[in-house]
Structure 1
Amino acid sequence: MSSLQHLHMDSTKRKPLLKEHTHVGGEPQTLPVKQVHTHPRESNGDENASVYFIGTATTIIEWQGTRILTDPNFLHAGDNVHLGPGVSAERLTNPAVDLHELPALDCILLSHYHEDHFDQKVEASLNRLFPIITTPHAKKCLTSLKDEPFGRVTELDFFESVMLHTDNEPTPGTNVKSVIRVTGMPGKHVPPGALAAANEYLQAVPPTNGWLVELGHAHDTATGTDPEAINTGYRIYISGDTLFVDELQEIKQGLQDYKIDLMLVHLGGTTIPGPKMPLVMVTMDAEQGLKLMHLMDPGVTIPIHYDDYSVFLSPLSDFKDKVDEEGWHDRVVYLDRGEQYKFKVRAAEGA
């Protein structure tokens, strides 16, 4: 890792998500869960963490009382977003919950500064001191807003990490505490070559990150936590709005023999300017999504970001067909908006 930053998540001192937020501390609001899914092959009923799918790339990852919101987009069917010069998209679906209905949260993971991942309503409503982890480009945008810049934004470039320290008590008889490490992962929103060179000049499509979210345990000491000393109990890889590019090989190489337990893959085959004139694809379609499964070999894959906007060319049914042809139906969990996947974070060794 080229750098390590630290964020301390204290539920009694949570910053409110919204400017006019009412549930700071105390009992959080309850998410409306339509259906709960577990591992298709290995569930023992002892799951202790979850992913809740709100819509597009918006999810809530929860473990040990810490909640991370990814790519907040809460527009409704019929609303439009601006995606670049001359390019807009209409939302076709509704989110599972509205922004004001969310439970108490600890931070936001923002893969890139694009309106279908951070819409104008979100930008206008958020508390300027709510913690956001994002790309260097998005940090520059968020902290330089003319009227109300955001004041607590952590930037992560590829393979840079931040430790989220929870306020949970150590395991009895030890000084082992739960921690979450978030690491920026490579991704490319624009195909390499002439288009990428043109985008570097025009800055039409923003740079994007994927994420590695590691849930685990570490010894709590006065000098902090050694990032290499984390006893990881679960690894989540979030692809972000990337294409299947050579740089993704670096992720697999960096993991070495470590296993990805869960992959959240952004699909949809997003096209610019749109499906009626598909000049360029900027997110993975079904075929690329299957290639990513081959490369990363996760225990479970959950597709997200596949049918919420009019610029998506590759429907979820295409990915399902590819998965079934591969004989991998028991390696994929499909979540509808408002559904939840529960999983088990392994306990610390010796705890």
Structure 2
Amino acid sequence: MKHLSLDPRKEEPPTRDHAPHPTSLPSAKETKVHPAGAGGENASLFFIGTATTILEWEGIRIMTDPNFLHAGDHVHLGPGVTGERVTNPAIDLHELPRIDAVLLSHYHADHFDQKVEASLRRSLPIITTPHAKSCLQSKGPEESFTEVHELDFFQSMMLDINDGTITAGKKPAIKVTGMPGKHVPPGPLSIANDLLKAVPPTNGWMVELGYSSASNDESFENGYRIYISGDTLMVDELKEIPERYKGQNIDLMLIHLGGTTIPSPSVPLLMVTMDAKQGIELVQLIQPDVTIPIHYDDYNVFLSPLSDFKKAVEEAGLSSKVVYLDRKDRYKFKVK
């Protein structure tokens, strides 16, 4: 298994500028916990917008799908396809504290925008798809990212947290596993996309926070499991996830919604992310303890609003299993 060493004692700035960065995230607009009650929370998820979140645990910060454009900015999503951002992120790039690693589900500008690509420090570890790795490392000696790690479906790597903390012979670690995802529905369109490469391949992630033995890096005990769907449709490949994790609780699911439709809002020919109906199907398939919807209203190509999902959740009797975050909200939870 691949290993990546993270040391929260290194105060490396997240971007290439030399301006001072804050040492922590700003105060949340609202902090939420498990709907059935909680206690002893020692980890958190901060929602910035789109699919951009920051996971904090044991001094480590992991950022997902960084997108920091503002309302009115545009992104290129494929040949002849653009999207306009209609919201602002909770914070700006210059307000980021130290970031230790990035989980990038795929190389699409609404998940890794032009401002992010130009600004992030080149040595920042990025875990992503094989396709995205080839893109990020093919920009020449000055612009290529140097610490890009690829994971295909069901491949894993360990993020070893080397801050000197060892308790009862164990040290904190994070296991990241690539999960299946498909941006384009099966059939002729998928075949055509494979040839044209208009829409990039995408991953989901299983992120497990836990502890490994101080004497054996290959041992790992999970304390909290997070499934991040990534930009996928409800496809048969997802059915392998509950099979592989049978008998293992999935504590939290971050689900990418929005019903992203291309080539434009006025010509909605192809849906490439889950709408409310597919989102409910995924919740029922994965059966996480808690679901948090993200990626639902930030661009004008999102045609299935969060209100659709909320209605579907109520009709399915799942309201006690879903937490809704607005931008700048934080969800706190306990890693056992």
Residue of structure 1 in register with 2:89 after alignment = 95
For 1:36, what is the secondary structure of its paired residue? Answer: strand
What are the superposed Cα offsets for residues 14-68 of structure 1, whole Å, 9 maximum, x if unpaired? 54311114458xx713323100000000313x11101100000000011111110
The correspondence for 1:11, drawn from 4, 8, 12, is 8
The correspondence for 1:254, drawn from 235, 241, 244, is 244
Q: Which amino acid aligns with 1:86?
A: G
Residue of structure 1 in register with 2:184 after alignment = 190
Q: Would the aligned equivalents of 2:42 and 2:335 in 1 still touch at CA under 8 Å? A: yes
Runs of 5+ consecutive residues of structure 2 not aligned to the other structure = none
Structure 1: distance between partners of 2:249 and 2:19 = 40
Q: Which amino acid aligns with 2:118?
A: A
Written as runs of structure 1 = structure 2, the 5 A alignment for 1:28-67 is: 28-44=23-39, 46-67=40-61
The alpha carbon displacement at 1:13 in A equals 2.9
The alpha carbon displacement at 1:121 in A equals 0.4
Q: Which amino acid aligns with 1:75?
A: L
Written as runs of structure 1 = structure 2, the 5 A alignment for 1:1-351 is: 4-23=1-20, 28-44=23-39, 46-146=40-140, 148-172=143-167, 174-221=168-215, 224-226=216-218, 229-346=219-336
Q: Would the aligned equivalents of 1:14 and 1:106 in 2 still touch at CA under 8 Å? A: no
What are the superposed Cα offsets for residues 187-218 of structure 1, whole Å, 9 maximum, x if unpaired? 00000110000000000000000000000011
Q: Would the aligned equivalents of 2:12 and 2:98 in 1 still touch at CA under 8 Å? A: no
Q: Which amino acid aligns with 2:300?
A: S
Structure 2: distance between partners of 1:323 and 1:208 = 26
The alpha carbon displacement at 1:108 in A equals 0.4
Task: Give the alignment's Cα RMSD to 1 decimal.
Answer: 1.3
Q: Structure 1 residues 21, 304: CA separation in 2 closer, same or farther (over 3 Å shift)?
A: farther
The alpha carbon displacement at 1:161 in A equals 0.9
What are the superposed Cα offsets for residues 55-108 of structure 1, whole Å, 9 maximum, x if unpaired? 000000111111100000000000000000000000000000001101111000
Structure 1: distance between partners of 2:166 and 2:149 = 29
Structure 2: distance between partners of 1:217 and 1:128 = 29
Structure 1: distance between partners of 2:304 and 2:96 = 30
Runs of 5+ consecutive residues of structure 1 not aligned to the other structure = 347-351
Q: Which amino acid aligns with 1:193?
A: G
For 2:9, what is the secondary structure of its paired residue? Answer: helix
Residue of structure 2 in register with 1:349 after alignment = none
Structure 1: distance between partners of 2:265 and 2:81 = 12
Structure 1: distance between partners of 2:191 and 2:59 = 44
Q: Would the aligned equivalents of 2:283 and 2:291 in 1 still touch at CA under 8 Å? A: yes
Q: Would the aligned equivalents of 2:14 and 2:97 in 1 still touch at CA under 8 Å? A: no
Structure 1: distance between partners of 2:20 and 2:24 = 8
Structure 2: distance between partners of 1:178 and 1:118 = 28
Q: Would the aligned equivalents of 1:241 and 1:283 in 2 still touch at CA under 8 Å? A: yes
Q: Would the aligned equivalents of 1:143 and 1:149 in 2 still touch at CA under 8 Å? A: yes
Q: TM-score, with normalisation over the residues of structure 2?
A: 0.97
Structure 1: distance between partners of 2:333 and 2:9 = 26
What are the superposed Cα offsets for residues 128-153 of structure 1, whole Å, 9 maximum, x if unpaired? 11111100000000000145111110
Structure 1: distance between partners of 2:186 and 2:12 = 40
Q: Which amino acid aligns with 1:65?
A: G
Q: Would the aligned equivalents of 2:75 and 2:84 in 1 still touch at CA under 8 Å? A: yes
Structure 1: distance between partners of 2:10 and 2:303 = 43
